[in-house]
Amino acid sequence: MALDKNSLNSIPVHQINDSDLDAAGVSLSILRCDLIHPELSGNKWFKLKYNLLAAKEQGYDTLLSFGGAWSNHLHALAAAGKLFDFNTIGVIRGEATAPLNPCLSDAVGHGMKLHWVSREEYRNKKSADFINALKAKFGRFFLIPEGGSGLAGITGCQEIIQAEQVNEYDLICLACGTGTTLAGIVSAACPPVLGFQVLKGKGYLASEVESLLSDKQLLARNSWSINDTYHFGGYGKVKPELLTFIANFEERTNIPLEPVYSGKMLFGLYDLIKQDYFQKNTRVLVVHGGGLQGARGFI
């Protein structure tokens, strides 16, 4: 597939109808970034795009990045490498496992080379020594930050909300890990934004997003806030009521969720809707960030 600015940018929107929404007078639509491409889905495509374009422009044939053994980012990077003709190297945090889990097995199937490093080494992954050792081992590569964060990642995420959607909705909701996607959305034209933090820690992500925006000299174009209530104990942690919510939502709507991001966000959003947190006639657009491959880790 040819790589250009407009690759994989058309995202279907699906409207949800159910009694909770009717009772609260809220309308809910879902921006299905999970449907962008069968193998390269979600916000991770937008976070990768300008990294890939820069790599091509600078004549790199190999991309390297970092992540855990269930990383949606590395899964997407491997798929992007296959689609757009790059070699890919994934630096994986932790002990090598055999057999590989389904996430890494997909990545290897797409041609990704895996390089395992201990948790301790992984913490130093930004150090010059660590990067130089990788260069000595793998040769010339284009380095993409963990999770696709960084300015290139933010710039890609500025394209998630389409111009016509700015007036069609009153609120954008999304799940936040690093907050890069939220930073991209709020620094482009958008309705007000409500992020749901999936990691534990009162208020920490809002201040990280503030510094992310100011570091990159970006201004929020509309109001935004982050709800830190619905983390279910922390990153990757689940509770039975979350899994039940996801199963019920999928059955009602035919829209698949996963428990790390989209499940927690929609659980939180429905909880707020049931508490009449939103004004009547609020039109909400939820960004489905994809990452469904990760749900295989919870079966």
Q: Which residues make up the interface to ligand PLP (CB under 6 A)?
A: 42-44, 72, 147, 175-181, 261-262, 289-291
How distant is the alpha carbon of residue 31 from its chain centre? 13
Least distance between ligand PLP and beta carbon 205 (Å): 8
For residues 83 and 212, which CB has a smaller minimum distance to ligand PLP in the complex? Answer: 212
Q: Give the shortest CB-190-to-ligand PLP separation in angstroms.
A: 15
| Torsion sign over Cα 91, 96, 101, 105 | positive
- Which lies closer to ligand PLP via its Cβ, residue 67 or residue 191? 67
Taking the least distance from each CB to ligand PLP, the nearer of 81 and 150 is 150
Cβ 252 to ligand PLP shortest distance, Å: 20
Helix axes 240-253, 262-274, angle to 10 degrees: 90
Of 229, 224, 172, 220, nearest to 196 (Cα)?
A: 229
| Nearer CB in complex with ligand PLP: 39/61 | 39
Taking the least distance from each CB to ligand PLP, the nearer of 191 and 290 is: 290
Closer Cβ to ligand PLP, 68 or 81, answer by number: 68
Tell me the chain's radius of gyration from C-alpha atoms. 19
Q: Tell me how far, at minimum, the Cβ of 19 lies from ligand PLP, in Å.
A: 27
DSSP per-residue codes, the chain:
----TTTT----EEEE--HHHHHHT-EEEEEEGGGS-SSS-SHHHHHHHHHHHHHHHTT--EEEEEE-TT-HHHHHHHHHHHHHT-EEEEEEES---SSPPHHHHHHHHTT-EEEEE-HHHHHTTTSHHHHHHHHHHH-S-EE--GGG-SHHHHHHHTTSS-TTHHHH-SEEEEEESSSHHHHHHHTSS-S-EEEEE-S-STTHHHHHHHHHHHHTT---SS-EEEE-S--TTSTT---HHHHHHHHHHHHHH-----TTTHHHHHHHHHHHHHTT-SPTT-EEEEEE---GGGGGGG-
Q: Given the complex with ligand PLP, which of 43 and 165 has the nearer CB atom?
A: 43
Q: Smallest distance from the beta carbon of 22 to ligand PLP, in angstroms?
A: 27
Residues near 135 by Cβ (< 8 Å), separated by ≥ 6?
Answer: 141
Q: How far is the CB of 111 from ligand PLP (least distance, A)?
A: 21
Please, what is the minimum distance in Å from the beta carbon of residue 44 to ligand PLP? 6
Q: How far is the CB of 59 from ligand PLP (least distance, A)?
A: 28
In the bound state with ligand PLP, the residue whose beta carbon lies nearer, of 149 and 165, is 149
